[in-house]
Chains A and B, each alone.
Chain A
Amino acid sequence: MDSFGLLWDGLAAAATPENLLYALIGVMLGTFIGVLPGIGPAMAVALLLPVTFSLDPVPAFIMFAGIYYGGMYGGSTTSILLNTPGESASVMTAIEGNKMAKRGRAAQALATAAIGSFIAGTIGTLLVALFAPALAEVAVDIGAPSYLAVMVLAMVLVTSVLGASKLRGFIALFLGLTIGLVGMDLNTGQPRLSFDQPLLADRLDIVVVAVGLFAIGEALWVAAHLRRTPLEVIPVGQPWMGRDDWGRSWRPWLRGTALGFPFGAVPAGGAETPTFLSYILERRLARKRGEFGNGAIEGVAGPEAANNASAAGTFVPLLALGLPVTATAAIMLAALQQFGIQPGPQLMTDQADLVWTLLASLLIGNAMLLLLNLPLAPLWAKLLQIPRPQLYAGILFFASLGAYSTNQQPFDVFLLLVFGLLGMMMRRFAFPVLPLILGVILGPLMETNFREALAISGGDTSGLFNEPLAVVVYAIAALAVLAPLVLRRVRPASEEPTKTEEMSLR
């Protein structure tokens, strides 16, 4: 087991006091933003990007990984105690979890969510260590045409599989690709879409785009809906589980992990689908079926494991191919580029230290989260009492500071506001943000491969299809778009699983 040997070295590298401190900051911050609905890990990582420029890549990524996993944990606390999912992956947890809490079993619901997340996150991270190097080894030989095809597939899948409306998804995707074009053409030096503005010719900074969309957009949205009747939080003591709860939880944990990981690893990503499937599966298999809908512990254990396993799974395409499938992973990819690290199949060999320390710190962060969250759950619930004006004033402050400090240009603060308005309008009209941010970040990478493929073939379009893998991948992408359309023709009455519109936005 070569991978596990490398992982062991990574553990040794991650276990320095300094790195442990960054992991702790990451998981605390992640849980904090996970608990608060509306503020997701993507926003937190984007806000932290400018701060981390002065750090080495290793501690920065240890912190980001902690935020990513912490966000998952925090979201489940809010789902269970408040019936308001902190983030989209916890929607399913809210269904049974809040019912359990209302029946006085909040402690057990929180415990099964935390322990299930720990188990799924740990198994998931080990699977990443197993699969990512193998995939990267294969992927190194992939040529530009196939790599381009894989990116197209990832974009098509993310846009058409997730979210309620394909049309809105593709509009957001193309908007993102357009934003990604702004600035100097790297091959010819010509400015594109710069409107004769020298400041725009220098390409848009990803910090400005991401922080504007996530932080300013959310703050404007909240400002427009400031006062809402407060919700009742269910008081809870120390989370714990009885013997019966353990017996009913361990199988859903493992099944949830098995469902979540592949969904995270395949570029169709997202945690919404596997958590939904896990919930359905547990309801089918439950011995006491009548309890489902009234607070069955299986309905919390399964989806919670699934969402953490899928969070782990997203590291496979991110590390092995340089392909992000969630908004948070997309921002992490942008962070890699900011550090001057080329994402892609070479990452596993060129930056082996970074990759293995990152994976090891995921294991450490996961353990920290379990130790933190079991005793601190009542404290996290108190965060929900923070008044929105104070909270968002802080976010706006850090957002503007971050946007300004990247280039010390007042113009960037103006751009920040423009993207903030865009973010708010997208939210208002239910456009998903994920395809847009993928377009902005993957667009330039895609263009590089596109140009490279065409350069090899001397400008002949056949150069895009001269690898068998590319053709197969395009076929899959076409199938993903066309199959639902054909199916709808054949069975017009088929109902899609209802996903809450608002949740698909993050």
Chain B
Amino acid sequence: MSAILVAWTPNEYGAAALDRGVTEARLRGDRLLVVNATRGDAYVDERYAGPARIEELRSELAGLGVEVEVRQGMGADIADQLLAAAREADAEMIVIGVRHRSAVGKLLMGSVAQRVILEATCPVLAVKPAG
């Protein structure tokens, strides 16, 4: 069974990506692979979920009738981690949340979503939170 990979973060972008990912997985009868990654180079990373939040996510996803795997990872580059997970699981599609960024923001920091979109070997679905 091929997989839908959701790049998930504990915020509205992750929630939007997950919503869409669940819909796609049901539609295609695929399993759902939720990946939450961190660079692990700061004491606190708001986009990395703690054990309690992961447990909550698992129970949220349990009753949806989709086969679910939640995975957390740590490494130098978040896009690399997502791409590696997609390759390994032979993902049919990657779902990722995207957001507006200022010109300076784009200049200073690379975009994870941009790299995933450009370098993934499967289709990538970019979603935005409602509103």
Q: Which residues of A contact B (CB under 8 A)?
A: 36-37, 82, 84, 226-233, 381, 384-389
Least distance between B23 CB and chain A CB atoms (Å): 30
B42→A386 contact, CB < 8 A: yes
> Which 8 A/B pairs are nearest by Cβ-Cβ distance?
A227-B40, A230-B45, A232-B50, A384-B44, A384-B43, A233-B44, A387-B41, A388-B41
For residue A227, which residues in chain B have a CB less than 8 angstroms away from its CB?
Answer: 39-41, 74-76
The one of A232, A381, A385 in contact with B42, judged by C-beta atoms closer than 8 angstroms, is: A385
A448 to B45, CA, bound (A): 52
A229→B44 contact, CB < 8 A: no
Q: Which residues of B contact A (CB under 8 A)?
A: 38-46, 48, 50, 52, 74-76
B42→A388 contact, CB < 8 A: yes
Binding site of B, secondary structure by majority: helix, strand, loop or mixed? loop
Least distance between B4 CB and chain A CB atoms (Å): 26
Least distance between B25 CB and chain A CB atoms (Å): 28
Q: Across the two chains, which residue of chain A brings its CB closest to B40? A: A227
The one of A37, A230, A384, A386 in contact with B40, judged by C-beta atoms closer than 8 angstroms, is: A230
A278 to B121, CA, bound (A): 61
Which of B41, B46, B76 is packed against the most chain A CB atoms within 10 Å?
A: B41
A385 to B75, CA, bound (A): 16
B42→A384 contact, CB < 8 A: yes
Binding site of A, secondary structure by majority: helix, strand, loop or mixed? loop
Which of A226, A230, A231, A384 is packed against the most chain B CB atoms within 10 Å?
A: A230
For residue B41, which residues in chain A have a CB less than 8 angstroms away from its CB?
Answer: 226-227, 387-389
Least distance between A384 CB and chain B CB atoms (Å): 4
For residue A388, which residues in chain B have a CB less than 8 angstroms away from its CB?
Answer: 41-42
For residue B74, which residues in chain A have a CB less than 8 angstroms away from its CB?
Answer: 227, 229
Apart from A227-B76, A230-B38, A387-B42, 6 more pairs, CB < 8 Å: A36-B43, A226-B41, A227-B41, A230-B42, A388-B42, A389-B41
Q: Across the two chains, which residue of chain A brings its CB closest to B47? A: A230
Least distance between B93 CB and chain A CB atoms (Å): 28
The one of B39, B50, B52, B75 in contact with A387, judged by C-beta atoms closer than 8 angstroms, is: B39
CB<8 Å pairs between A and B, sample of 13: A226-B40, A227-B40, A227-B74, A227-B75, A229-B38, A230-B42, A230-B45, A231-B43, A233-B43, A384-B42, A386-B42, A387-B42, A388-B42
For residue B48, which residues in chain A have a CB less than 8 angstroms away from its CB?
Answer: 229-230
For residue A230, which residues in chain B have a CB less than 8 angstroms away from its CB?
Answer: 38, 40, 42-45, 48
Q: Across the two chains, which residue of chain B brings its CB closest to A230? A: B45
A385→B40 contact, CB < 8 A: no
Least distance between A43 CB and chain B CB atoms (Å): 17
A387 to B46, CA, bound (A): 12
A386 to B44, CA, bound (A): 8
For residue B38, which residues in chain A have a CB less than 8 angstroms away from its CB?
Answer: 229-230
Given contacts A227-B74, A229-B74, contact A385 B39 (CB under 8 A): no
Least distance between A167 CB and chain B CB atoms (Å): 33
Given contacts A227-B74, A232-B50, contact A37 B39 (CB under 8 A): no
Which of B44, B48, B75 is packed against the most chain A CB atoms within 10 Å?
A: B44
The one of B45, B50, B76 in contact with A385, judged by C-beta atoms closer than 8 angstroms, is: B45
For residue A84, which residues in chain B have a CB less than 8 angstroms away from its CB?
Answer: 43
A231→B44 contact, CB < 8 A: yes
For residue A231, which residues in chain B have a CB less than 8 angstroms away from its CB?
Answer: 43-44
A228 to B45, CA, bound (A): 11
A82→B40 contact, CB < 8 A: no
For residue A232, which residues in chain B have a CB less than 8 angstroms away from its CB?
Answer: 44, 50, 52
Least distance between A395 CB and chain B CB atoms (Å): 14
For residue A226, which residues in chain B have a CB less than 8 angstroms away from its CB?
Answer: 40-41
A385 to B40, CA, bound (A): 10
A384 to B42, CA, bound (A): 7
A387 to B38, CA, bound (A): 11
B44→A82 contact, CB < 8 A: yes
B44→A228 contact, CB < 8 A: no
Least distance between B92 CB and chain A CB atoms (Å): 30
A228→B40 contact, CB < 8 A: yes
Least distance between B53 CB and chain A CB atoms (Å): 8
